[in-house]
Amino acid sequence: QVQLVESGGGLVQPGGSLRLSCAASGSIFSINSMGWFRQAPGKQRELVARITSDGRTHYVRSVQGRFTISRDNAKNTVRLQMNSLKPEDTAVYYCHALVALDDYWGQGTQVTVSS
């Protein structure tokens, strides 16, 4: 079992920045990859960024060059630095962990980009 707790969402103006953090606890030694998904109202949940246990990263095209995912294995945390935010980035952001073939999710944190 893995527990994920997110923090760092909020309201920001277009062009601003936010940093999301996700703290993992439980069977963390077995985590293959961690990442962030988001879900906007009326839309499907989509992968935003992912980082594997050996540090490889993947981003959805719409956030490339603006978002950076990082992982601190010593602190069992994963962070998402979001810069140059746009209104279309508004969504609930969920932390995700892949453990073998099992998916674990955080509770979600709201990110709103609006003037």
Q: Average pLDDT in the 57-77 region?
A: 93
Pick from 21, 7, 14, 34: nearest CA to 90 = 14
Phi, psi of 113 (to 5 degrees): -110, 110
* Average pLDDT of the residues of the chain: 93
Inter-CA distances, 75 with 27, 42, 115, Å = 14, 35, 35
Q: What's 53-96 look like in SS3?
A: CCCCEEECHHHCCCEEEEEECCCCEEEEEECCCCHHHCEEEEEE
pLDDT tens string 59-68: 999 999 999 9
